[in-house]
Amino acid sequence: MKKPNILLITSDQQHWNTLGYFNNELSTPNLDRLVQSGTTFTRAYCPNPTCTPSRASIITGQYPSQHGAWTLGTKLLEDRHFVGEDFHSAGYKTALVGKAHFQPLSSTEEYPSLEAYPVLQDLEMWKQFNGPFYGFEHVELTRNHTNEAHVGQHYALWMEEKGCVNWRDYFLPPTGSMDPAITYKWPIPEKYHYNTWIAERTNALMEQYAGEDKPFFLWSSFFDPHPEYLVPEPWDTMYDPDSLTIPDIVPGEHDKNPPHFGLTQEDNPDFSPWAETGNGIHGYRSHHYYEYGERKKLTDYDKKKLVAVYYGMISMMDKYIGTILDKLEELGIADNTVVVFTTDHGHFFGQHGLQAKGGFHYEDLIRLPFIVRYPGQVPAGVTSDAIQSLVDLAPTFLSLSGIPIPHAMTGVDQSEVWKGTASAARDHAICEFRHEPTTIHQKTYVDQRYKITVYYNQTYGEIFDLQDDPGELNNLWDDPAYAALKSELLLKYIWAELGKEPMPMPRISGA
């Protein structure tokens, strides 16, 4: 049997409930095509609610506490094993186009980074470099979300090749000259947007591999809808802010939560007790203000407009995902290609009074959109509540391709669940958030009904009943009536931790 192609399409920081098929407030016709022709998993989770750790889990099949890229500003060490190596050994072409974020923006002699200044903007170097990189034999990269100054690498080269010689006008200083006060409408022409670049280069590689009759493992990695909230016209005005449902805090909902939740609702909170490395702590700030771009207080208009633009970013990305799906059909390889669409983690846009991300393991942040299509193998037009994790992608891709799964991978093989021949491969998911060595270190265990979050060296925590309290408004941690449940969930969490320890090889002898 011919080996299947693997096409992984990811967005960045996308809320689980932003697929138009299930949410009529936004339009995603191409992702809806995937929903109708594949299986949508409604209980998919990230292993960490930030970029580097979750993305590293995708290519290692291990949790952040195991692969070592434990937070933003760390790097995934090159001595780890990457799933692309297994595909390459099996005769696959391997490529990544778009966002990697396996390495930090700074570089040291001990921990060099190709995604750091100044090398990320050394365009002469990037003309000569396309890999290998973390198991991918071919990469085409950039590092910026929207207009960030981190623009460079292959995307900048592509803009110049397309005739956009003034590309720096569309990015922030010191790289470019765009006014930091501009928000919502990004003046970059759509033809030079990174969505256009990612889709164009993804399609070119698929065409090359199909022409060579080579199976491929290809990750098409989009940057949107990660803020800053910026999108080219007409997408910035596609949605009427006044017609959208805008989430907001429920008065008193943080009264029983750990202290960092309530502090986010103050104008000038003191998070210094949590600061340990001095490298900044995502989410531990006032959520009455923008986190991105120029610091200003969120007005009622902003709270609505940012949702409208966030949806516009998703709809624009959907257009370019559609060109990739069309290319599969044009090349005649759609029926032999496993397509997975998901994201690296979720996003807050007002839920619980929060914006963006941080140490708040609500479903909004750790739950993901997750669609699988494999014609003739994965049931079409089906939804499933079987729990999924991004850490499962690597072993499942290998299994579907008939390639042995390395023993050190701690994700589970979901192939039979995807095919609909098994109801579940796991009864829980674990999400980790270690953002400082000791002061911000938490883990969440979530099963079909309950969720428990524990904090290192702290007696506070969270327990939510997702069946009776889907909005996660009533923290049961300190409720005496739920003491027995708390003990049960703590034990299940410990079992889950024991169960995910890696075993690099099987036991082969009595001694």
pLDDT digits (tens, 9 = 90+) for 331-371: 999 999 999 999 999 999 999 999 999 999 999 999 999 99
Cα(461)–Cα(476) distance, rounded to whole angstroms?
9
Which residues, at least 6 apart from 471, have a Cβ–Cβ distance to it below 8 Å? 250
- Among residues 313, 99, 292, which one has the least CA distance to residue 186? 313
User: What pLDDT does residue 421 have?
Assistant: 98
Cβ neighbours around 113 below 10 Å, total: 16
Bridge partners (DSSP) of residue 139 are 96
Query: What is the side-by-side strand order in the sheet with 371-373?
Result: 138-142, 93-99, 216-221, 5-11, 337-343, 371-373, 39-41, 382-384
| Token duo for residue 349 | 């846009």
Bridge partners (DSSP) of residue 389 are 45
- φ, ψ for residue 417 (rounded to 5)? -70, -45
Strands 216-221, 230-231: pairing is unpaired
| Token duo for residue 202 | 């993804």
User: What pLDDT does residue 452 have?
Assistant: 98
Give 189-196's long-range contacts (Cβ < 8 A, gap of 24+). Answer: 189/164, 189/232, 190/232, 190/316, 191/162, 192/159, 192/162, 192/164, 192/167, 193/232, 193/316, 194/98, 194/142, 194/144, 194/155, 194/222, 194/223, 195/222, 195/224, 195/316, 195/317, 195/319, 195/320, 196/320
- Among residues 256, 264, 81, 228, which one has the least CA distance to residue 144? 228
pLDDT tens digits, 212-222? 999 999 999 99
- φ, ψ for residue 407 (rounded to 5)? -60, -30
Cα(375)–Cα(380) distance, rounded to whole angstroms?
8
Q: Of how many residues is the chain composed?
A: 511
Amino acid found at 277: T
Question: Which residues, given as ranges, of the chain have pLDDT below 70?
Answer: 293-294
Q: What's the gap between Cα 428 and its chain centre?
A: 19
Cα(225)–Cα(10) distance, rounded to whole angstroms?
11
| Token duo for residue 55 | 């993305």
Cβ neighbours around 510 below 10 Å, total: 4
CB-CB contact of 180 with 172 (8 Å): yes
User: What pLDDT does residue 21 have?
Assistant: 98
- The separation between the first and the last C-alpha atoms of the chain, rounded to the nearest angstrom, is 41
Helix (H, G, I), strand (E, B) or coil at 486: helix
User: What pLDDT does residue 402 have?
Assistant: 97
User: What pLDDT does residue 293 have?
Assistant: 63
Query: What is the side-by-side strand order in the sheet with 461-465?
Result: 429-434, 441-446, 450-455, 461-465
Cα(53)–Cα(40) distance, rounded to whole angstroms?
24
- Residue 86: how many CA atoms within 13 Å on its side-chain side? 24
Eight-state DSSP code of residue 7: E
- In the block, tokens 């889907």 appear at 470
- In the block, tokens 């002699």 appear at 109
Which residues, at least 6 apart from 150, have a Cβ–Cβ distance to it below 8 Å? 105, 117, 120, 142, 143, 144, 175
User: What pLDDT does residue 291 have?
Assistant: 74
CB-CB contact of 365 with 428 (8 Å): no
CB-CB contact of 44 with 342 (8 Å): yes
Eight-state DSSP code of residue 213: T
| Token duo for residue 46 | 């990230």
Cα(178)–Cα(394) distance, rounded to whole angstroms?
39
User: What pLDDT does residue 81 have?
Assistant: 98
